[in-house]
Amino acid sequence: MAVKNKKLNLKDKYQYLTRDMAWEPTYQKKKDIFPDEDFEGIKITDWSQWEDPFRLTMDAYWKYQAEKEKKLYAIFDAFAQNNGHQNISDARYVNALKLFLTGVSPLEYAAFQGYARVGRQFSGAGARVACQMQAIDELRHSQTQQHAMSHYNKHFNGLHDASHMHDRVWFLSVPKSFFDDARSAGPFEFLTAISFSFEYVLTNLLFVPFMSGAAYNGDMATVTFGFSAQSDEARHMTLGLEVIKFILEQHEDNVPIVQRWIDKWFWRGFRLLSLVGMMMDYMLPNKVMSWAEAWEVYYEQNGGALFKDLERYGIRPPKYQDVANDAKNHVSHQAWSTFYQYSQATNFHTWMPEEDEMKWLSEKYPETFDKYYRDRFEHWDKEQKAGRRFYNNTLPQLCQVCQIPTIFTEKDDPSMLSHRQIQHEGERYHFCSDGCCDIFKNEPEKYIQAWLPVHQIYQGNCEGADVETVVSKYYHIKLGEDNLEYLGSPDHQRWLEIKGLKPRASKPGSEQDAA
C-alpha cells in the first residue's frame, strides 16, 4: 500500500491539515479566546474525541466544490439559453419557487452567518474546520439559488425583492424567526438546532422529495441547484449527528440539556415545514409523493432509526412526536387553506385544486381530505366561479413562538382549533400548540421580544393601517400583479401566451417578455 500510494492516506492527511494546524495558546487564556463555550452548561472534557467521519480537508473541499459549481452553472446556462421556463409543467409551479426564494434562500444566508459565528466559538479545531466549510457551503447555496431563480424573475412576477420581503412579510416571519432564534442561541444550541434537528432530522423533507418534484415538473435549474446543495448536506448531516454524539459522550450532565434542545428544535422545525407540505401537495402540478408519504419515509422511518441509535445515550424521541406524526394528514391542507384566504398579502398566487388534483388528495389522504377539507374547497371553488373569490380581511391570531397563525387543530379532534394561552408578567400570550407553549415557558424572556407581523401592523409600524398600503408600500408586493388568485393573473395570461393557447395581449412594454 505505502509503496503504491505516495499520497498521505485520508486519516493522516486530515490529521496534518486540520488538527495539526491548531495550537495551544500561551499569550492569552483559552477562556478569554472562546468566551461562549461554557455558558450554556455544556461540559466538554476532551476536544480531541471529536470525529469528522468525512475527514475532508480544505484542498479536497475546494476541488470537489469547484467541480460541483462547474456542473451547476453549465446547466443554468443551458436552461436560460433554451428558455427552460417554457418547458415546466404549468406556471402554477413557479409559485413554489417564489415561496422558496423569499422563504428558504435567505435562510441559507442566515445559516452562513450562523456557522461563521459559531465556527469562531469552539476551542476544538475539528469543530472549527467543519463549521468553516459549512459556512462557505451555505453562502454558496444562497447564491446559486438566487442565480437559478433569476431566470424566472425575467418571466414571472413576485420574485423581484426577496430579501426585502423576507424581513417584513407576515408569513416570512415564520422562517426568519426560526433562524433568528437559532442564531441568537449559544454555539452548542445552534449546532443542535441547525446541524442536528434541522439538517439531519428534517432537511431531507425539504430538499429530497421537493426537488425530485421539481424534476418531475420540468424545472431543470431548480432540481440541479437543489441536489447540488443537498450534496453538501450529506456532509452537514454527518456533522449534525457527530455533534450530538460528541456532546453526549463528553459528560452525562449534557444529556438533559441536549434533550430539551432536541424537543424544542424538532417542534420548531416541524412547524416550519408546514410550508413545505403545502408546496408538495398543492403547488407541484405533477405530484411525486404526498407530504404524508414523505413524512413517513423521512421522519417516521429514518428518524425512528436515528432515535433508536441514540437511545444508548439516554436520548428519547422528541416530545410531541405523536402530535406531529398525526398532523401529517392535516397540515398541508390547513396551510393551503390559510394562504388561499390571504392571497391579497402574498407575493405568490393561490388557487383551488383542479378535479383530478382533488381526486389525488382524496386518495393520498383517505382518512382526512374528503371528511374535513374537500367541502370547504368545493365551496370556495364555486364562489370563485360565481365571481366571488373569497379573501379573508381579518388579520389572524399568530402564535408567539412559531409565528404561524393559529390554524392547526387538536390531535384528537380535527374539528377543534388548537389554541393555548398563558399569562406572563401581566401580559397574555397565545400559542398554536403545547409544543410552542412549552418553548415559551422555558425561555419567556426571549419570546416576549418576538416581532409578530400582525401586532406590528396594528401598532402602526408597517407604513399603514390598511392591507393595501402595508402590502404595496411596506412589503413591496405589486398589487394585482404579484398577489391574489392565479386564474386570470398576469402570470396565468403569460403562460397561456407561451403555450399558444391565447393570442398575446398587445400591451406596451410586454414585448421583451416574449422569450
Residue 506, classified by CB atoms within 10 Å of its CB into exposed (0-12), middle (13-18) or buried (19+), is exposed
Q: How far is the CB of 285 from another protein (least distance, A)?
A: 13
Nearer to another protein, 205 or 398 (CB): 205
Q: How far is the CB of 17 from another protein (least distance, A)?
A: 14
Q: How far is the CB of 8 from another protein (least distance, A)?
A: 10
Quick check: 133 binds another protein (CB under 8 A)?
A: no
**Alpha helices per DSSP H over 217-301:** 220-250, 254-272, 274-278, 291-295
The kind and range of the H/E element at 336 are helix 331-341
- Comparing CA positions, the residue from 191, 182, 186, 227 lying closest to residue 208 is 227
Beta bridge partners of 423: 428
Quick check: 56 binds another protein (CB under 8 A)?
A: yes
One of 55, 120, 376, 478 touching another protein (CB under 8 A): 55
One of 22, 34, 54, 180 touching another protein (CB under 8 A): 54
One of 34, 207, 360, 390 touching another protein (CB under 8 A): 207
The answer to whether the CB of 57 falls within 8 A of the CB of 14 is: yes
Q: How far is the CB of 214 from another protein (least distance, A)?
A: 8
Q: How far is the CB of 212 from another protein (least distance, A)?
A: 5
DSSP line for 175-227:
HHHHHHHHHTS-HHHHIIIIIIIIIIIIHHHHHHHHHHHHHHTT-HHHHHHHH
One of 21, 234, 416, 514 touching another protein (CB under 8 A): 234
Nearer to another protein, 10 or 416 (CB): 10
One of 34, 73, 216, 360 touching another protein (CB under 8 A): 216
Q: Count of residues for the chain?
A: 515
Nearer to another protein, 287 or 492 (CB): 287
| 148 contacts: CB under 8 Å, gap ≥ 6 | 76, 79, 221, 222, 224, 225
CA-CA distance, 432 to 439, in Å (whole number)? 12
The kind and range of the H/E element at 424 are strand 420-424
The answer to whether the CB of 248 falls within 8 A of the CB of 255 is: yes
Quick check: 372 binds another protein (CB under 8 A)?
A: no
Contact stretch for another protein (CB under 8 A) within 47-55, 376-384, 394-402, 484-492: 47-55
Tell me the three cell numbers of residue 102: 423569499
Site for another protein in 57-86 (CB under 8 A): 60, 64, 67-68, 71
The answer to whether the CB of 307 falls within 8 A of the CB of 250 is: no
The answer to whether the CB of 151 falls within 8 A of the CB of 79 is: yes
Nearer to another protein, 39 or 62 (CB): 62
Quick check: 359 binds another protein (CB under 8 A)?
A: no
Contact stretch for another protein (CB under 8 A) within 51-59, 177-185, 333-341, 471-479: 51-59
Quick check: 238 binds another protein (CB under 8 A)?
A: yes
One of 137, 138, 233, 485 touching another protein (CB under 8 A): 233
CA-CA distance, 180 to 111, in Å (whole number)? 10
Residue 330, classified by CB atoms within 10 Å of its CB into exposed (0-12), middle (13-18) or buried (19+), is buried
CA-CA distance, 295 to 237, in Å (whole number)? 18
Quick check: 49 binds another protein (CB under 8 A)?
A: no
Nearer to another protein, 167 or 322 (CB): 322
Nearer to another protein, 233 or 438 (CB): 233
Q: How far is the CB of 16 from another protein (least distance, A)?
A: 15
One of 77, 309, 367, 443 touching another protein (CB under 8 A): 309
Contact set with another protein (CB under 8 A): 5, 9-11, 53-56, 60, 64, 67-68, 71, 204, 207-208, 211-213, 215-216, 223, 227, 230-231, 233-235, 237-238, 241, 288, 301-302, 304-306, 308-309, 312
